[in-house]
Chains A and B, each alone.
Chain A
């Protein structure tokens, strides 16, 4: 929820008119707040991240390249980013549906279902991984039903995607939900009155409103998937070149006491995620401009 708020904050159209009179601000304590923000962010985010990068600098360039580009590591990037992307797409579609139903309809037990959405946030991810594996393994409730058809969901790449869908769902629901709640129903009614079809209403009225939030949710689910370890590790099978995620490569390197190699791979992941988030942010502001809100 907070993400949706902050996503709207810096671009809010009211900002420039306030900034014209720098002498007096409506809200007091700006300087202190900014100082606090920078201090706190440094303490919690920037210092640990720079420690990561500094550790990587203990490697020479050749060592760095060797550490981050061996065939096993490359295969793990493909799996990690591919599975995270796929899971985020699935979550974008179905998370939107969940958010839609939760906002637009009243039904008994709605509060409970609404609370259920947050469970993947609260649950230790390893617990999620173990329970998913128990369900989907060939002797589990779901797995045993699918096995006769030759469908195997646990201990291969499918398992990775499923685990990432599970942990990514709340990101989409919780970012889209508040925006949907704020969306004016009257606009949709007007569209219908003017003769728009359901699809046209969705395409031209609803989607432009929730698009940026949906993209934010997608981006967060994607970024979370890239870093996810606990839930995936129990269900992936962890076969090198096949179902080995990048965080496992990092843990493997740590087990060899190869701190620098581990942080090198971590830095690559960090940069890739940062780049993705940047692209998605750009997309968002482009969409916001286009929809003129």
Chain B
């Protein structure tokens, strides 16, 4: 599998360099995470029009989507991305640690270089037959919860951190949080590989009563499976999942696209960009627009990973790396 991926990567890189030579106008490659495909499609159309209007020049944006950390690895191994737009800061931190993006990438753009954010919600079957309202309902006997495997998806890591953090936010101790999480994962019948896999298991395979996933998945589910199949349940509190962005210094230095890459990422902060995010149920940082879409972004008490876990990389070390807290849930009986 390893080599298969590397081979695909090599081929993809080759194809991209080839297409770069052919295209006279500037082309940017945005390497992003899986479920952001539709969002960036709209962003790219809007940005291309905007760029033509402000500079009079044509620009082309290619997009590449897969699991967030798989994408980070691809960029690290040589995929010539101009910008990366991820869903967990660890992925960009990894690229910073290998010198592919700037060390101080989080300071290069406003709001910790996160133009948008999301949070973890519950999806339940239409009419909410199990009466799920809050986190405590998930650990009741007989409730089946579908989540992503934290080992293979950022979606799963955030669900885990949300479950742990909400206990802390209520004033609970780490021991109580561990107890809650242990009970929660006892109710998990299937650990999905990634966000989309989880949605498929929940909706097409009809497994589980609750799906913990990104707020933005609600819109995708309504689009894919028809509105009204699922209800979104907003728990009393949840975690902020920032979507960090960064310019890939290695590529832009080589291609001379630093300015365009910067303009592209800045566009995400513009009113137009923020509106598009809101339409995809991705939380804009612009408070006015957030308010405008308050029917989508129901008020929910949010906490940051930094509040209870130190930092994302700290949480990764303590909870998700081999031998960490998540492994213990399954190995210690």
Contacts and interface: CB of A to CB of B under 8 A. Distances in A.
Please indicate whether A and B come from the same complex rather than being unrelated chains. Answer: yes
Contacts of B204: 134
A139 B205 contact: yes
A124 to B, nearest CB: 11
Interface string A220-248: 00000001010001100111110000011
B190 A238 contact: yes
A130 B152 CA distance: 18
A248 B188 CA distance: 18
A255 interface: yes
A245 to B, nearest CB: 11
A202 B72 CA distance: 57
A271 interface: no
Interface in B306-333: 316, 320-323, 327, 329-331
A133 B330 contact: no
A100 B152 CA distance: 43
Contacts of A130: 200
B94 A258 contact: no
Contacts of A254: 69-70, 73
Contact of B331 (A71, A140, A229): A71
A21 B320 CA distance: 64
A284 B1 CA distance: 29
A251 B191 CA distance: 14
B1 A227 contact: yes
A226 to B, nearest CB: 12
Contact of B205 (A71, A72, A137): A137
A248 B152 contact: yes
A251 B190 contact: no
Contact of B193 (A72, A233, A262): A233
A133 B331 contact: no
Nearest to B333: A241
A133 B192 CA distance: 13
A255 B71 CA distance: 10
A251 B94 contact: no
A72 B327 contact: yes
Interface residues of B, number: 35
A155 B207 contact: yes
A282 interface: no
Nearest to B193: A233
A138 B207 contact: yes
B323 A238 contact: no
Contacts of A155: 189-190, 207
A70 B1 contact: no
Nearest to B94: A257
A211 B152 CA distance: 42
A262 B3 CA distance: 13
Interface residues of A, number: 39
A212 interface: no
Interface string B1-18: 111001000000000000
B191 A234 contact: no
A234 B331 contact: no
Given A139-B206, A227-B1, A238-B149, A261 B322 contact: yes
A229 B1 contact: yes
Given A139-B206, A255-B69, A266-B2, A238 B193 contact: yes
Nearest to B148: A238
A130 B2 CA distance: 21
Contacts of A247: 1
A241 B207 contact: no
Contacts of B222: none
Interface in A67-92: 67, 70-72
Interface in A249-271: 250-258, 261-263, 266
A260 to B, nearest CB: 12
Nearest to A236: B190
Nearest to B3: A48
A196 B241 CA distance: 74
A237 B190 contact: yes
B304 interface: no
A239 B327 CA distance: 11
B151 A137 contact: no
A72 B330 contact: yes
A277 interface: no
A154 interface: yes
B197 interface: yes
Contacts of B73: 254, 257
A135 to B, nearest CB: 11
B189 A234 contact: no
A234 B193 contact: yes
Given A133-B205, A250-B1, A266-B2, A237 B189 contact: yes
B193 A240 contact: no
Interface of B: 1-3, 6, 67, 69-70, 72-73, 94, 149, 151-153, 188-193, 197, 200, 204-207, 316, 320-323, 327, 329-331
Q: Please list the 9 inter-chain residue pairs (A to B) with the smallest Cβ-Cβ separation, ordered nearest first.
A: A252-B151, A240-B330, A137-B205, A139-B206, A238-B191, A237-B190, A255-B69, A71-B331, A229-B1
24 contacts: A52-B2, A70-B322, A72-B327, A72-B330, A137-B205, A137-B207, A138-B206, A154-B205, A155-B190, A234-B193, A237-B189, A238-B149, A238-B191, A239-B330, A240-B191, A248-B151, A250-B1, A250-B2, A255-B67, A256-B320, A256-B322, A258-B321, A262-B2, A266-B2
